[in-house]
Structure 1
Amino acid sequence: MSSTVPGPNRHPLVLAAGRAHPELAKNVAKELGIDLLGVSAYDFANSETYVRFSDSVRGMDLFLLQSHTMPVNQWIMEQLLMVDAAKRASAHSVTVVAPFFGYARQDKKSRGREPISARLIADMFKTAGADRLMSVDLHTAQIQGFFDGPVDHLWAMPILVDYVRTRVDVENVTVVSPDAGRIRVAEIWASKLGGGPLAFVHKTRDVTRPNQSVANRVVGDVQGRDCVLVDDLIDTGGTIAEAVKVIMAAGAKSVTVAATHGVLSGPAAQRLTECGAREVVVTDTLPIEDDRRFDNLKVLSIAPLLASAINEVHSDGSVTSLFDGNS
Structure 2
Amino acid sequence: MPTLTEPKLISGNANLPLARAIAKRMTMHRGVHTGLVDARVERFNDAEIFVEVYENVRGEDMFIIQPTSNPANDNLMELLIIADAMRRSSARRTTAVIPYFGYARQDRRTKARTPISAKLVANMIAGAGIERVLTMDLHAAQIQGFFDIPVDNLYASPVFALDIKTAFRDRMGELMVVSPDVGGVARARELAKRINAPLAIVDKRREKPGEIAEMTVIGDVKGKTCLIVDDICDTAGTLCKAAEVLIENGANEVHSYITHGVMSGPAVERVGKSVMKSLVITDSIQPSAPVRACDNIRIVPTAPLFTQAILNIWNGTSVSSLFDDDTLGPIYESLYSAG
Displacement of 1:215 = 4.6
Assess if the C-alpha contact under 8 Å between 2:158 and 2:191 holds in 1: no
Residue 41 of structure 1 deviates from its aligned partner by 1.4
Query: Is the Cα–Cα contact under 8 Å of residues 24 and 303 in structure 1 kept in the other structure?
Result: yes
One-letter amino acid of the counterpart of residue 285, structure 2: L
Q: Judging changes above 3 Å, is the alpha-carbon distance between structure 1 residues 114 and 234 closer, same or farther for their aligned structure 2 residues?
A: same
- 2:315 corresponds to which residue? 315
Q: How many residues end up aligned between the 2 structures? A: 317
Q: 1:51, 1:82 within 8 Å by CA — same for their partners in 2?
A: yes
Residue number in structure 2 paired with 1:193 = 195
**Structure 1 residue 19: deviation in Å?**
0.9
TM normalised by structure 1 equals 0.94
What is the Cα deviation at residue 213 of structure 1?
A: 3.3
- Secondary structure of 1:186's aligned partner: helix
Q: Equivalent residue for 1:4?
A: none
SS of 2:255's equivalent in the other structure is strand
Counterparts of 1:107 and 1:232, CA distance in 2: 15
Q: Separation in 1 of the partners of 2:291 and 2:252?
A: 27
1:202 paired residue number: 203
User: Aligned AA for 2:12?
Assistant: G
- SS, match of residue 166 in structure 1: helix
Q: Does the CA-based 8 Å contact 2:158-2:324 persist in structure 1? A: no
Structure 1 counterpart of 2:295, one-letter code = D
Match of 1:285 in 2: 284
| 1:22-70, Cα deviation, whole Å (9 max, x unpaired) | 1001000011111110111110111100001110110001000001222
Match of 2:225 in 1: 226
> Equivalent of 1:10, from 4, 19, 35?
4
1:60 and 2:60 correspond: yes
Aligned 8 A contact 1:215 1:243 in 2: no
Q: Distance in 2 between matches of 1:156 and 1:258?
A: 9
| Number of the residue aligned with 1:184 | 186
- Uncovered stretches (5+) of structure 2, i.e. residues with no partner: 28-33, 326-339
2:19 match:
25
CA–CA distance in structure 2, aligned partners of residues 99 and 214 of structure 1: 32
Match of 2:31 in 1: none
Paired residue for 1:3?
Answer: none
Per the alignment, residue 170 of structure 1 pairs with 172
Name the counterpart of 1:46: 46
- 1:118–1:143 Cα contact (<8 Å) kept: yes
Cα separation, 1, equivalents of 2:201 and 2:70: 30
1:1-327 correspondence runs (5 A): 8-33=2-27, 34-168=34-168, 169-194=171-196, 196-206=197-207, 209=209, 211-293=210-292, 294-324=294-324
Counterpart CA distance in 1 for 2:234 and 2:186 is 21
2:330 — aligned with what?
Answer: none
- Is the Cα–Cα contact under 8 Å of residues 215 and 246 in structure 1 kept in the other structure? no
Q: Is the Cα–Cα contact under 8 Å of residues 214 and 239 in structure 1 kept in the other structure?
A: no
Contact (CA 8 Å) 1:214, 1:242: kept in 2 or not? Answer: no
Give the Cα separation in 2 of the matches to 1:247 and 1:167: 20
Take 2:49 and 2:107, find their aligned partners in 1: how far apart are those partners? 27
For residues 161 and 55 of structure 1, the distance between their equivalents in structure 2, rounded to whole angstroms, comes to 40
1:215–1:100 CA distance, 2 compared to 1 (3 A) = farther
Q: Which moved more, 1:23-32 or 1:166-175?
A: 166-175
Give CA-to-partner distance per residue, 1:179-229, whole Å, 9 cap, x none: 1111122222111112x22110010235x52x4434511110000001110
User: What is the CA–CA distance in structure 2 between the aligned matches of 1:310 and 1:281, rounded to whole Å?
Assistant: 24
Equivalent residue, structure 1, for 2:335: none
1-structure distance, mates of 2:251, 2:60: 53
Question: Deviations along 1:5-34, whole A, 9 cap, x unmatched?
Answer: xx8231221000001111001000011111
- Please give the alpha-carbon distance, in whole angstroms, between the structure 2 residues aligned to 1:141 and 1:172: 31
Structure 1 partner of 2:333: none
One-letter identity of the residue aligned with 2:154: L
Cα distance between partner residues in 2 of 1:243 and 1:71: 28
User: Identity across aligned pairs (percent)?
Assistant: 40
| In structure 1, C-alpha distance between the alignment counterparts of 2:198 and 2:99, rounded to whole Å | 31
Root mean square deviation, CA, Å: 1.5
Provide the C-alpha distance between the structure 2 equivalents of 1:292 and 1:301, rounded to a whole number of angstroms: 14
Asked whether the equivalents of residues 201 and 215 of structure 1 are also in contact (C-alpha less than 8 Å), the reply is no
Secondary structure at 1:200's aligned position in 2? strand
For structure 1, which runs of at least 5 residues remain unmatched after alignment? 1-6
Aligned partner letter, 2:259: T
